[in-house]
A and B are shown apart, each in its own frame.
Chain A
């Protein structure tokens, strides 16, 4: 893939984008289309494109491009678009710090550490994987314990197999995809172990990654000990009770030389925290307005750094919004303020953006806490009146819920907080 490394960095840019994954690249293009001239995207990898470059499987782009693409194909389209817009992209580079005046402390291979000014900043750092430490698995600390995404990188970019016989903890999509990937490369997959009573990945991945290759999925089961001196030799797994407590008397051992951990992602917000942006304790990302602006003026955010998305297509949509806002801010165009706060209510874990305007149309993304069928999504006013109701056949924690809000629904509200509830029939089974 072509990566444009500018020979000389400017001392100031209209917009600096931190992170050259799909969010950063789409935001950069949108910022330019909104009128900003000089835009710099900074990426720490040797080439831009982000995690898509190692996601060699299909399933990306149906919403964004109207066809089903692999990760590298999606990344390349977004990259080509950025290059066509003459966006400066500097790779092998790192943003060390951003101060309140939006001066970006940047480290590059050629120039070392420099201070570059930005009229607007877009945070698009993405997320990282939760590790063994996040779930505190007891036992030895041998080689052979990897996060699923790390194993994906080793296999798909470097051509190294992580082991010969693998157990996988967590049934998120990355873990399921890796079960198939390793099987196709001749590695034996002993099983996938999921703490919850239901799988965390898409049915499509359950069928095409596990059933197709007769890989067993053990629900309500977790890894309780890792054994091995230099290398993983086996893991102990145990079923859990209704309170997710392992029942050690029913534990059994699984021979393997590798344990892959696929237990979720954490937005990578060290820069946001240094900027002391207001954070949402549930998403662990910054609180954002409907323009994707953070609590500090001129700082915008999009993609997995804000909340974990299921589909890159939604990342693109959010990034275009953030990039457009950053571009407008950079050229001095006023962003109209929001006047309504959104509060997650019954069965809603979080909603993004955190505020909206009664004058514009919005898409609100949210995640539910439980599996429900025959549901109603309700927008509730402070006095308890239902402002808007939408029927949904089902909601699942693993699938983001989108709500399109038209100004006409909101016209009587100003400086209010509206609550979002999702009620329905429990679908736990």
Chain B
């Protein structure tokens, strides 16, 4: 057995907010013990968060010819946590044009993560009425 390190997590399963501790054997790259949970979901969360943390990413992209300047989007499924900022940075240069339907793929396989970026609402084509200042 190699050196053991303890990493702490705050459980997000419920408002109890259990202080989770994961012991990892650095040489074997294996979890030796999980402590601090008070339910099965807490233990599973600690292991997931320690080995492969994932996040659903929600942000917006620029849209033309629509009522609003931004179209809300999300990842089609959770993306690796360490890619979140990079994904958002990449989406800052994306520009689409109305009409868009909810579920439309805006970017396929973003940054080779295997995750698509999809629209989360319909956005109809729209021009400001000529008698109204916007």
Q: Could you tell me the distance in whole angstroms from the C-beta of B117 to the nearest C-beta in chain A?
A: 13
Q: Does A57 contact B (CB under 8 A)?
A: yes
Residue of A with least CB distance to B73? A56
Specify which chain A residues have a CB less than 8 angstroms from the CB of B11 in the assembled complex: 203
- How many residues in B have their beta carbons less than 8 Å from beta carbons of A? 32
Chain B residues near A (Cβ < 8 Å): 9-12, 14-17, 55-56, 58-60, 62, 67-70, 72, 74, 81, 84-85, 88-89, 92, 102, 120-124
**Interchain CB contact under 8 A, A72 and B69:** no
A335 within 8 A of B: no
CA distance A394 to B38 in the complex (A): 13
Shortest distance between the CB of B39 and any CB in chain A (Å): 10
* CB of B68 to closest CB in A, whole Å: 5
Q: List 10 A-B contacts (CB under 8 A).
A: A1-B123, A2-B124, A68-B56, A72-B121, A184-B59, A184-B88, A185-B88, A203-B14, A208-B12, A212-B55
Partner-binding segment picked from A17-25, A96-104, A151-159, A340-348:
A151-159
Closest to A211 in B: B10
Given contacts A203-B10, A206-B10, contact A56 B85 (CB under 8 A): no
Contacts of A186 in B (CB 8 A): 89, 92
**Cβ distance A141 to chain B, nearest Cβ, rounded Å:** 28
Whole-angstrom CA separation of A173 from B82 in the bound complex: 23
Q: Which residues of B contact A156 (CB under 8 A)?
A: 60, 70, 72
CA of A58 to CA of B59 in the docked complex: distance in angstroms? 11
Bound: A1/B17 CA distance, A: 38
- Cross-chain contact of A203 among B12, B56, B120, B123 (Cβ < 8 A): B12
Known: A70-B58, A203-B11, A212-B81. A76 touches B69 (CB 8 A): no
Query: Does B12 contact A159, Cβ atoms closer than 8 Å?
Result: no
Does A398 belong to the interface (CB within 8 Å)? Answer: yes
Chain A residue nearest to B56 in the complex (CB): A58
Q: Is the CB of B60 within 8 A of A73?
A: no
Q: In the complex, what residue of chain A is closest to B75 when comparing beta carbons? A: A58
Q: How far is the CA of A76 from the CA of B55 in the complex (A)?
A: 23
A-B contact count (CB 8 A): 88
In Å, the complex CA distance between A2 and B99 comes to 12
In the complex, chain A residues whose CB is within 8 Å of the CB of B62: 159
Given contacts A203-B10, A203-B17, A206-B10, 16 further A-B contacts (CB under 8 A): A1-B121, A1-B122, A46-B67, A56-B74, A57-B58, A76-B102, A156-B60, A158-B68, A158-B70, A159-B70, A185-B92, A186-B92, A202-B12, A203-B12, A212-B84, A394-B16
With A56-B58, A72-B72 as contacts: A207 and B120 at CB distance below 8 Å: no
Residues of A within 8 A of B16 (CB): 393-394
Residues in chain A near residue B60, CB distance under 8 A: 56, 155-156, 159
Which residues of A, 144-193, contact B by the 8 Å Cβ criterion?
A: 155-159, 181, 183-186
Q: Are A58 and B69 also in contact (CB < 8 A) when A73-B102, A76-B121, A203-B11 are?
A: no
User: Which residues of chain A come closer than 8 Å to B88, judged between CB atoms?
Assistant: 184-185
